[in-house]
């Protein structure tokens, strides 16, 4: 821990607070994972690099460990992460069957990450007692989810104690505690190739939640998945460090559902309690009975509350609103499932126009559609950058600026999503400036100023992404943005020299 300490809050339990004033971008926590492994409910993956492996119907594959016969690609035969479980499986002569369910899940691999935590407990008993044992695992709440609890009990606890012959080393209660700790506290990470895994970070894992976070994390696969937690904005001494454990660009109901089912708590942050979500109207519906009224929940945290119009007397039930939302989300999901194409872009535009009369322009459904369109404009056939007329470049610029306005409220400061959006924004701005200059509409001075504005946008993008692992997708985008910025600086110098 760099500039933070653990504090115990009577309501929130253990959390982290700053020990001194912290500047935006400074590290407040840095640590290596206690253990890491495949995500729960994964397919068959290599237990070293986590890439998908293809097994035949008979469970046969060349990608197996030479010692224990469990899934391992040839590049990972000496991977130290697999050593511990390899000894367990080889000694117990546990066969890997390679069975996959209809939804592509290999439940036999569910035991891997919990087993790695248990083996790390044996090798690092002091760290376990100090950092892992106090972590929340919510077994009482998880026990109420009968199907999930029973599946974990059979596939993990009974499997490790029975076929794997570990009953004398690990009790059922301890194994289920570890399963819960992972469920509640683990973070998803990505390898440099983009494959998903989960990591358990004891200090970062106890961060308090807020739907408007003041920290952001970067995980560095090229440094053994070391995590660095930084301040998104300037922080005062004694300020609580807060992270978002849900997607900030979801509406209040959706965020609350995710936190309740995955983390077993109800968020009481300022944003969640505000019917307008801090003035963004991110979950607001249009009133169907009057021209300019908006429907807002009387209590966003009460699932039985009424939604009332801001202008007329009309009100409706939360149930009716959620049903309407469910229909919209289903329509969006159908289009999102399409491969990127001119048709997908056009259908997304149609859907956005259709919902303008149903929800607020900044509603999270509309924001999600904008993000989808931003990715497609300039990248799908018939809408490639060289072919986009100025009116469509203007449209892409507007889409970017609308998403950025929302991000300024929900992810203020050093936001990774903001950096991506700034990169998307710079492209139409450059093309519009150049086409205006070629058409004789813009003078050299105006062109120069517009390019300087774009350089500032790219500089902010690089300033945010500079903290990413250079081997990751975000780290690579940082390099691309840096190159684009340098080219524009040269262009501006060329314009200055020609004056």
Residue-level pLDDT at 499: 54
201-256 pLDDT, tens per residue? 999 988 899 999 999 999 999 999 999 999 999 999 999 999 999 999 999 999 99
207 shares a domain with 290:
no
Same domain, 335 and 397: no
Strands 306-309 and 315-317: antiparallel
Type and span of the H or E element at 478 = helix 473-498
**CB-neighbour burial class of residue 65 (10 A; exposed 0-12, middle 13-18, buried 19+):** buried
Position 53 in a domain: yes
CA atoms within 13 A on the CB side of 165: 8
Contacts of residue 160, defined as CB under 8 A and 6 or more positions apart, other chains included, come to 111, 114, 115, 118, 166, 170, 175
Taking the C-alpha atoms of residue 305 and residue 286, their distance in angstroms, rounded to an integer, is 17
State which of 334, 366, 398 marks the end of a domain: 366
Nearest in space to 207 (alpha carbons), one of 252, 167, 239: 239
Q: How confident is the model at residue 491 (pLDDT cuts 50, 70, 90)?
A: very high
H/E run at residue 454 = helix 444-465
- Within a domain: 21: yes
Q: For residue 372, is it within any domain?
A: no
Say if residue 387 is in the same domain as residue 466: yes
- Report d(CA 387, CA 435) in Å as an integer: 12
CA angle 166, 168, 173 (to 5 degrees): 80
Q: Are residue 62 and residue 191 in the same domain, yes or no?
A: yes
Domain harbouring 216, CATH code: 2.170.270.10
Q: What is the DSSP letter of 343?
A: H
Tokens of 44: 């068959």
192 lies in the same domain as 55: yes
Residue 239: which region, alpha, beta or left (left: phi > 0; alpha: psi -120 to 50)? beta
Tell me the C-alpha distance between 352 and 390, whole Å.
21
Q: Enumerate residues 6+ apart whose C-beta is below 8 A from 30.
A: 1, 2, 226, 227, 228, 229
In a domain, 371, yes or no: no
Interhelix angle 83-92/112-123, nearest 10 degrees: 110
473-498 and 444-465 are packed helices; what angle lies between their axes, rounded to 10 degrees? 160
Would you say residue 461 has pLDDT above 80?
yes
388 and 437, same structural domain? Answer: yes
- 402 by Cβ neighbours in 10 Å (0-12 / 13-18 / 19+) ranks as middle
Judgement on whether residues 181 and 208 belong to the same structural domain of the protein: no
Give domain status of residue 107, yes or no: yes
Tell whether 321 is covered by a domain.
Answer: yes
Do 266 and 292 share a domain, yes or no? yes
Average pLDDT over residues 283-312: 95
Half-sphere exposure of 337 (CA within 13 A, CB side): 6
Query: Distance between CA 189 and CA 230 in Å, rounded?
Result: 17
Can you give the pLDDT at residue 498? 59
Residue 125 and residue 98 share a domain: yes
pLDDT bucket at 386, cuts 50 / 70 / 90: confident
**Phi, psi at 275, each rounded to 5°:** -60, -30
In terms of pLDDT, which residue wins out, 6 or 179? Answer: 179
Render 314-331 in DSSP notation, one character per residue. -EEEHHHHHHHHHHHHHH
Element (H, E) at 227: strand 226-231
Give φ, ψ of 117 to 5 degrees.
-65, -45
pTM beyond cutoff 0.85: yes
Same-domain check for residues 162 and 124: yes
* Positive or negative torsion for Cα 83, 87, 90, 96: negative
Give the residue from 243, 266, 301 where a domain finishes: 243
**pLDDT, the chain, mean:** 93
Residue 321 tokens read as 């609103």
**Residue 156: C-alpha distances to residues 168, 186, 419, 483 (Å):** 15, 17, 40, 49
- Answer whether residue 333 is part of any domain: yes
Residue at 164 is within a domain: yes
The per-residue pLDDT for range 107-164, each reduced to its tens digit, is 999 999 999 999 999 999 999 999 999 998 888 888 877 788 899 999 999 999 999 9
Residue 21: other Cβ atoms inside 10 A: 14
Last residue of a domain, one of 196, 211, 232: 196
Structure confidence by residue, pLDDT tens digits, 54-66: 887 666 778 999 9
Residue 17: give the domain boundaries. Answer: 4-33+201-243
Half-sphere exposure of 276 (CA within 13 A, CB side): 7
Same domain, 149 and 189: yes
Domain count, the chain: 4
Which 8-state DSSP code applies to residue 469? Answer: -
DSSP-based three-state secondary structure for 60: coil
Looking at the structure, tell me whether residues 68 and 185 fall in a common domain: yes
């Amino acid at each position: 821990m760099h500039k933070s300490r653990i504090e115990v809050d009577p309501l929130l339990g253990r959390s982290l607070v700053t020990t001194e004033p912290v500047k935006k971008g400074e590290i407040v926590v840095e640590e290596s994972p206690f253990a890491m492994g495949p995500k729960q409910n994964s397919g068959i993956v290599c237990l070293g690099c986590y890439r998908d492996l293809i097994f035949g119907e008979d469970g046969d594959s060349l990608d197996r460990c030479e010692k224990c016969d469990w899934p391992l690609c040839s590049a990972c035969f000496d991977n130290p992460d697999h050593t511990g479980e390899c000894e367990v499986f080889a000694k117990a002569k546990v066969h890997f069957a390679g069975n996959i369910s209809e939804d592509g899940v290999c439940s036999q691999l569910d035991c891997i990450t919990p087993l790695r935590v248990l083996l790390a407990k044996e090798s690092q008993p002091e760290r376990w007692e100090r950092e892992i044992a106090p972590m929340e695992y919510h077994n009482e709440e998880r026990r109420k989810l009968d199907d999930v609890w029973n599946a974990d009990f059979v596939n993990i606890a009974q499997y490790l104690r029975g076929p794997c012959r570990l009953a004398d080393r690990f009790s059922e209660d301890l194994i289920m505690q570890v399963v819960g700790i992972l469920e509640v506290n683990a973070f998803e990470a990505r390898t440099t190739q983009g494959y998903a895994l989960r990591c358990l970070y004891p200090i970062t894992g106890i961060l308090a939640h807020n739907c408007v976070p003041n920290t952001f994390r970067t995980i560095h696969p090229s440094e053994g998945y070391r995590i660095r937690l930084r301040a998104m904005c300037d922080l005062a001494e004694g300020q609580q460090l807060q992270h978002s454990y849900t997607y900030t660009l979801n509406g209040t109901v959706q965020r609350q559902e995710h936190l309740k089912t995955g983390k077993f708590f109800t968020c009481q942050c300022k944003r969640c309690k505000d019917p307008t979500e801090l003035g963004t109207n991110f979950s607001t519906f249009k009133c169907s009975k009057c021209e300019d009224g908006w429907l807002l929940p009387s209590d966003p945290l009460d699932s039985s509350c009424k939604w009332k119009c801001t202008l007329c007397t009309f009100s409706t039930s939360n149930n009716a609103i959620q049903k309407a939302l469910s229909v919209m989300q289903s329509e969006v999901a159908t289009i999102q499932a399409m491969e990127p194409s001119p048709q997908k872009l056009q259908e997304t535009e149609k859907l956005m126009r259709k919902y303008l009369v149903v929800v607020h322009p900044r509603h999270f459904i509309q924001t999600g559609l904008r993000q989808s369109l931003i990715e497609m404009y300039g990248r799908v056939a018939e809408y490639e950058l060289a072919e986009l007329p100025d009116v469509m470049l203007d449209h892409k610029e507007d889409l970017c600026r609308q998403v950025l306005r929302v991000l300024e409220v929900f992810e203020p400061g050093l936001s990774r999503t903001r950096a991506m959006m700034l990169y998307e924004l710079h492209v139409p701005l450059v093309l519009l400036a150049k086409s205006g200059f070629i058409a004789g509409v813009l003078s050299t001075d105006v062109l120069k100023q517009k390019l300087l504005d774009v350089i500032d946008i790219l500089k902010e993008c690089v300033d945010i992404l500079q903290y990413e692992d250079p081997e990751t997708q975000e780290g690579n985008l940082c390099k691309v943005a840096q190159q684009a910025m340098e080219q524009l600086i040269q262009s501006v110098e060329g314009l200055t020299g020609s004056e």
